[in-house]
Amino acid sequence: MRASGAGARPGQAETGLPAERGLPAERGLPADTPGQADAADPAGGAGQAKASDDVFTELTGQGSVVAELRQAAAAAADVLSGRAGQRAGGMAHAWLLTGPPGSGRSVAARAFAAALLCPAQGCGSCPSCRQVRAGSHPDLMLVRPDGLSYGVKQTRDLVLHAATAPAAGRWHVVLFEDADRATEAAANALLKAIEEPAPRTVWLLCAPSAEDLPATIRSRCRLIVLRTPSSAEVADVLVRRDGVDPQRALAAARAAQGHIGRAHRLATDADAARRREEVLRIPLAVTGLGPALTAAASLVSAAEEEARAVTEERDQPERDALRQAFGEGSTGKGVAKAVRGAAGALRELEDRQKSRATRAKRDTLEVALLDLAWFYRDVLAVQLGAQVELGNVGREADLRKLAEATTPESTVRRIEAIMTCRERVALNVAPLLAVEEMTLTLLPG
């Protein structure tokens, strides 16, 4: 687990990595980080800041969520100024933000954190807001599992640290980006903290859905539900923010199924788009046993390739930052000690990077499987004559060909096999085995 912000001050983070905050990796996440340029909240509610350029403007298509978070930030400010209880809703110490991958739940959580920590409730331009954006605010602990889950020891350390007084005198905000990845023991430690919250601590948990957390935690959080933005909303962001051609933006948005970060990648990264094309060639290519096994192998290797591209981008800068933090070129008697410390920290970093790579591989394979399932969902829509927006723009001919050659029942069976494969990969079944079994169900008949 990694904690940046206050948790990453030298000697405080359990990793002992002084240089963790502000790493390029922190900003380079594919999933949720790309800013979103849509101010879809004309009401603005209680916010003092202008709705056009404050911290909430990065949320796409989440008008009611933005209104609720503004209201909550105002209520939190009331608490600080001793006017508590005046405002509807009041202040909660634990929040659970849910939404499908890519809907922007961690963007929403960060915006809310900024609003809590900013004297003007999230102006977007003051030093506090800028520190939140950079991930270096002393009172914001940004926590994500680097491996597959959060452990109990790390969670206990975090709970202890979060109970201390906030440095800037407002709130201590702890943001868990994938709270659903907490182990049971870690969840119990977290539950204790939420049951008896320190007066100035606010917990922000992010998860795909409320059901992903134990009921005991869920019931103590105020729930914020983000919806999947429409293809048009996602495309609009790509056009206005990234200057993507409108037609290309819409195709990417539909292909990404409402996942803004993935849509951005598909529209702007030729390799990502090519890998997706390869995945979508599978349904028509699987004509016999040989092609089915080849398809499985290429699906797994495409996922590994993409995972490598994503992790390598992050690994080297982290290693460089670590070396720098341990004083490359320093002199005096501290050097020997620093060298010993650096060796240990480097080993730890490599372990974390390795488990992150495993996770990335699994995540990218999952994306490929969802692309494939989405393709068959379109086939089914054609077979049933359903009036829905097709996800696979430009592949209508393939869709029709398969729709005519197979039955809706067999399409449903294939979608189920893909989803089963996805579950098995999540359960740590060897990816190639699980995928081979799945591609065999794609054979004609």
Residue 336 φ then ψ, to 5°: -60, -45
Segment contacting Zn ion by CB under 5 A, of 15-23, 117-125, 157-165, 188-196: 117-125
Q: Residue 146: which of 5, 349, 312 has the closest Cα?
A: 349
CA distance 102 to 267: 15
Segment contacting Zn ion by CB under 5 A, of 122-130, 135-143, 187-195, 356-364: 122-130
Q: Residue 136: which of 159, 150, 117 has the closest Cα?
A: 117
* 44 neighbors 18 (Cβ within 8 angstroms): no
- Judged by beta carbon, residue 54 or residue 315, the one nearer Zn ion is 54
Q: Least CB distance from residue 83 to Zn ion, whole Å? A: 20
**118 in contact with Zn ion (CB under 5 A):** yes
**76 in contact with Zn ion (CB under 5 A):** no
Q: Least CB distance from residue 202 to Zn ion, whole Å? A: 16
Taking CB under 5 A as the rule, which mask of x and - marks residues 125-164 in contact with Zn ion? -x--x-----------------------------------
CA distance 5 to 226: 25
> CA angle 316-319-320, nearest 5°?
85
CA distance 168 to 68: 25
- Judged by beta carbon, residue 96 or residue 129, the one nearer Zn ion is 129
- Judged by beta carbon, residue 129 or residue 425, the one nearer Zn ion is 129
- Judged by beta carbon, residue 111 or residue 123, the one nearer Zn ion is 123
**117 in contact with Zn ion (CB under 5 A):** no
Segment contacting Zn ion by CB under 5 A, of 1-9, 110-118, 139-147, 285-293: 110-118
**123 in contact with Zn ion (CB under 5 A):** yes
Residue 3 φ then ψ, to 5°: -125, 125
Q: Residue 116: which of 98, 95, 144 has the closest Cα?
A: 95
Q: Least CB distance from residue 169 to Zn ion, whole Å? A: 15
* 424 neighbors 434 (Cβ within 8 angstroms): yes
**250 in contact with Zn ion (CB under 5 A):** no
* 124 neighbors 54 (Cβ within 8 angstroms): yes
Number of residues interacting with Zn ion: please give it, by CB under 5 A: 4
- Relative to beta strand 140-144, strand 2-5 is antiparallel
Residues near Zn ion (CB under 5 A): 118, 123, 126, 129
